[in-house]
Amino acid sequence: AITESYDVKVSGASDNTDYYLSIGFDNRESTIKGNGLKTYRASMNVNSKVNDYLKVGLNYKFAYQEAPTQDPGLSSAAVAPPWQPIYNSNNQYGYQEVLDTESGNWNRAKIYGQGTRDNYLASMSLNRSLFQNMRHMAQGYVELSPLEGLKIRGGISLDLTEQDRIGIRTYR
């Protein structure tokens, strides 16, 4: 499986301010067809001495992950019976169905007997699942030094996470 990773980082400082910025992207293929992970990230850190009595700073991090996943995976391929066909050129998707969909019965009959298993290639090709994760983390501070040896520091933090799972099932 191929893994790509790209990063750009910039940092610097002056007499009163230091900063750090970075952005990055990772793309990881999986050894299982249809799976993988993409990650986008960014980071920023700025600290500044405004005057002899006041310092301020901000630290922010962002990450977004996207992971397409396909069912059913290798375990379904390992238990597929050798007598069960996989492809069918007469089917609109090109795969052989494993359940009798024409009977109208809610409890569909297995076409190839009790040993019938899911058509794992059809499931991997036609059923889609996507996991998305986005996270923002930030911290800011203000530091006052009104008297020598006395520091008063206040801060605020944010941690926001959003997750979504999306699934589309074409093949059953």
- Angle (nearest 5°) at CA 169 between 167 and 170: 145
* pLDDT for 97: 82
Give the helix/strand (H/E) hosting 60. Answer: strand 54-69
* pTM for the model: 0.72
**In one letter, which amino acid is 145?**
S
Local mean pLDDT, 10-residue blocks, the chain (172 residues): 94 97 94 84 98 97 90 68 84 80 66 79 78 96 94 96 85 58
- The tokens for 152 are 């008063």
